[in-house]
Amino acid sequence: MTHPTAEHYDRIAATYDDLWTYDPDYVRQFAQSMLDALRLIPSDRVADVGCGTGLYTRRLAQELRPERPILCVDPSPAMLEQLPSSPYLQPVPGRAEDLARGEIAPPDGRPFDAVLLKECIHHVPDRAAVLAGLTRRLSSHGRVLVVMLPKAIHHPLFQAAHDRFEALQPDPTEVADALAEAGLRASVSYRTFHVTVDRARYVHLLESRYMSVLDEFTESELAEGIAQFRRAYRDDPVIRFDDHFAFVTGWVRPG
């Protein structure tokens, strides 16, 4: 049986980049923030786990110009197919769990210097075990960055979607605790990205179930939610909201 998460991403893969690039500056600023948080240098051995279409990885790679390709790991073949052909990006079908077990590693057999997981940790059921496994794959100056939404978000979703999101989304402090438990120097900080999107486009985003939480609703529940959204924003042709993200980092302790 196909997993519902896999079905979700296989379905939206072809339009994923269109869905998320409602604001051209958003991806550029986001990629720069991740580059800075990981303090990447071109010689690092890097994996982007749950890279999806590589929307952010390709931007990050353009800035970094890595000496060896970033391993772009994702279980959805349809998402990975969207990855552009680039000497900086190496598609690798697989899961965070495979990397944690050491089944996905840099081609030269050395450990990773940096592992990025952007908006995929909520899809990993056994987070503590996976983060402990990833920690064991890091070099002496290795680091992990988990980028995730907090439990409460400002996206203009309808109320039932907010409630469901809050119930499903892990807490960033839980992730930081798991990284600390694994032996890393862990911390959580928050970044805010301003989003501007036309109301009509946002309706299209909702209809496309652009967030996986929207897959929790039947067609008629979604239609009711969209009707609620239309009523709430009937006077706003353009929607503006702040997208807050937790940046959870874990650094290998010196010595």
Ligand X SMILES: C[S@@+](CC[C@H](N)C(=O)[O-])C[C@H]1O[C@@H](n2cnc3c(N)ncnc32)[C@H](O)[C@@H]1O
Q: Residue numbers of the site for ligand X (CB under 6 A)?
A: 5, 9, 49-52, 55-56, 74-76, 79, 95-97, 118-120, 123-124
Nearer to ligand X, 26 or 202 (CB): 26
We find the least distance from the C-beta atom of residue 77 to ligand X, in angstroms, to be: 9
What the block records as the tokens of 34 is 């991740």
Which residue's beta carbon is nearest to the bound ligand X?
52
Nearer to ligand X, 13 or 222 (CB): 13
User: What burial class does residue 21 get, using C-beta atoms within 10 Å of its C-beta: 0-12 exposed, 13-18 middle, 19+ buried?
Assistant: exposed
We find the least distance from the C-beta atom of residue 49 to ligand X, in angstroms, to be: 5
Query: DSSP secondary structure string, 129-170?
Result: HHHHHHHTTEEEEEEEEEEE--SS--S---HHHHHHHHHHSP
User: What burial class does residue 254 get, using C-beta atoms within 10 Å of its C-beta: 0-12 exposed, 13-18 middle, 19+ buried?
Assistant: exposed
Nearer to ligand X, 147 or 182 (CB): 147
Nearer to ligand X, 146 or 239 (CB): 146
Q: List, edge to edge, every strand of the sheet that includes 238-251.
A: 89-93, 70-74, 46-49, 112-118, 138-148, 238-251, 185-198
CB 225 within 8 A of CB 206: yes
Nearer to ligand X, 21 or 189 (CB): 21
Instruction: State the Cα angle at 246 between 243 and 250, rounded to 5°.
Output: 155
